[in-house]
Structure 1
Amino acid sequence: MLTDNDFRTAMGLIATLPHIDEHDRSVFVMHEKSEKLIPFHKHTKGQLSYVEGGIAYITIDNRTYVVPARHFFWIPQGMEHILEIGHSATVLHSLYFYAYDDDSDLFYGRLGIYPASELLIQMIRYTEIWDEKHVTEKDENFEFLIALKKILPKTHKQPLPIILPATHNKQMQRITSYLEWNIGEKHTLANVSARFGLSERSMSRLFKSDMDISFLQYLKTLRIIKAIELLLNTDKPINEIADDVGYSSISAFSDTFHEFTQSRPSDLRKSSKTSRNSGMSRS
């Protein structure tokens, strides 16, 4: 007969969701190759998840946040979200923290995606000793988890701006789908507006009013997201990826990529492979 722990191990994170909030002063630890899609859900705990070896997507209020390998995200308590895993090799290391002290820093009250420091990565990996367990102040080394939570706002100040808004406007959906499926073309506000029978002013207003983003910023964000996917999911040379997402200059591509991710394309690919290899060596 299967125990509760056996069942959670077999079924993964979706089956575990109801158990995460059972103890309001605990930290629940979960390390796994996660399901492809975890539908809308929320927790009474704050969620820290480190993405290893692939890519993840968080959707909240019609906005999709992209989390590359060797980055982590923090989701505040009570925030409903969808979590999607974009690569079969992705391992998600998650800690669900008690929330009674979240008002001690603004960090804990906002969604954020951050590059993971080497210190944080090693601390998260250490928590594998508690996999699929609630850890409380009665457990040995609980102070380690307290320290881990407390260093987050001190060592990770600026969240990454890799956010792509969605739309329910049919006209905007046609425009954004066109951009996505033709991302390698040299789009301008003028030629895209003309294609859809709009003036440049009307196109600009549509993006701002419907998705609260400029046409140019949306296009740049879409290009970088597609580039991240290609870097992590393929072995294409970086110059080919730059061309595939619409950049004729490798330096312009690298600079824009750094603006969004705080790393260079080659660094992200290298760190992802390092992350996967270290994960394989531990398994």
Structure 2
Amino acid sequence: MGLIASLPEIDKQKDGVFVMHEKSEKLIPMHKHTKGQLSYVEGGLAYITTENQTYVVPARHYFWIPKGMAHELEVGSTGTVLRSLYYYATDDHTNEFYTKLGIYPASELLIQMINYTERWDGGHVNSKADNFEFLIALKKMLPTLNKVSLPIMLPKTNHDGMQRIIRYLEKNVGNRLVLAEVSKQFAMSERSLSRLFQSTLQMSFLQYIKTLRMITAIELILKTSKPISDIAYEVGYSAVGPFSDAFYDFTLSRPSDFRKN
């Protein structure tokens, strides 16, 4: 049973943990549950869309979605495994971590612990089970692992015209992308294109370009063995220094450390 089919099952045991590991490329439509969701992204990217924002989750990162938060989840690659634990919420008041959405780099310890839960895939684990203490310990350690959530947010839109522009930007992410030239490409004035970004994405043209470049860089760092300098040039930077600084602003890590960790 896949995640979409399992959505009605998640809340059936209020005090238990529902375990779901799935390899797929799919869109899980807007939904919510009375449990907190811990998910680890193994390979590729995942996107979490809330009422007004889309968050990008790189591979080897995990996210926490608090109980009751409506969200859409998109797994962006067939090679992506989404490993999810849906937790009882009876102790969520004990730490602020459990009350807000957050995206964090996963330590090797956390990865191994989450991978270990695959043996209970597709079912509930409750207090009567011998392995329940393991899941309790996993949840309790989360607030101690990371203090700052990864601030990678990339708006998405159903606007046809903007989707065409986005596809062009994705295809040319390594080229010189300035408002004047892109607006000319789509027979628009600079002012009109700038307004379109703000009205459909609530983000400026330059902010979108920077974010797109960082997300592309994350994919290349995680999926290839290309030198960091080559990746910098491939996503539109003429020198490693400015690329490294921009990457740090988004991930709180230098590119070489990000790959190493």
Question: With structure 2 as the length reference, what TM-score do the two structures score?
Answer: 0.84
Shift of 1:95: 0.8
The 3 A distance-change label for structure 1 pair 122 and 234 is: closer
- Number of residue pairs aligned between Structure 1 and Structure 2: 258
After superposition, where does 1:30-109 map in structure 2 within 5 Å?
A: 30-32=20-22, 34-40=23-29, 41-61=31-51, 63-78=53-68, 79-88=70-79, 90-109=80-99
Question: With structure 1 as the length reference, what TM-score do the two structures score?
Answer: 0.78
Tell me whether 1:164 sits opposite 2:165 in the alignment.
no
Instruction: Report the equivalent of 2:133.
Output: 143
The 3 A distance-change label for structure 1 pair 267 and 86 is: farther
Please give the alpha-carbon distance, in whole angstroms, between the structure 2 residues aligned to 1:87 and 1:237: 25
- Check the 8 A contact 1:27/1:98 in 2, yes or no: yes
Instruction: Report the equivalent of 2:13.
Output: 23
Instruction: Report the equivalent of 1:214.
Output: 204
After superposition, where does 1:131-210 map in structure 2 within 5 Å?
A: 131-195=121-185, 196-200=187-191, 203-210=193-200
Shift of 1:250: 1.8
Identical-residue share of aligned pairs (%): 60
Shift of 1:179: 1.9
Please give the alpha-carbon distance, in whole angstroms, between the structure 2 residues aligned to 1:206 and 1:220: 17
The 3 A distance-change label for structure 1 pair 36 and 69 is: same
- Check the 8 A contact 2:48/2:71 in 1, yes or no: no
Shift of 1:171: 4.3
The 3 A distance-change label for structure 1 pair 115 and 38 is: same
Which deviates further from its counterpart, 52-61 or 255-264? 52-61
User: Which structure 1 residue ranges, 5 or more long, are not aligned?
Assistant: 1-7, 272-283
Please give the alpha-carbon distance, in whole angstroms, between the structure 1 residues aligned to 2:215 and 2:126: 38
Please give the alpha-carbon distance, in whole angstroms, between the structure 1 residues aligned to 2:25 and 2:159: 27
RMSD between superposed Cα atoms in Å: 2.7
Instruction: Report the equivalent of 1:256.
Output: 246
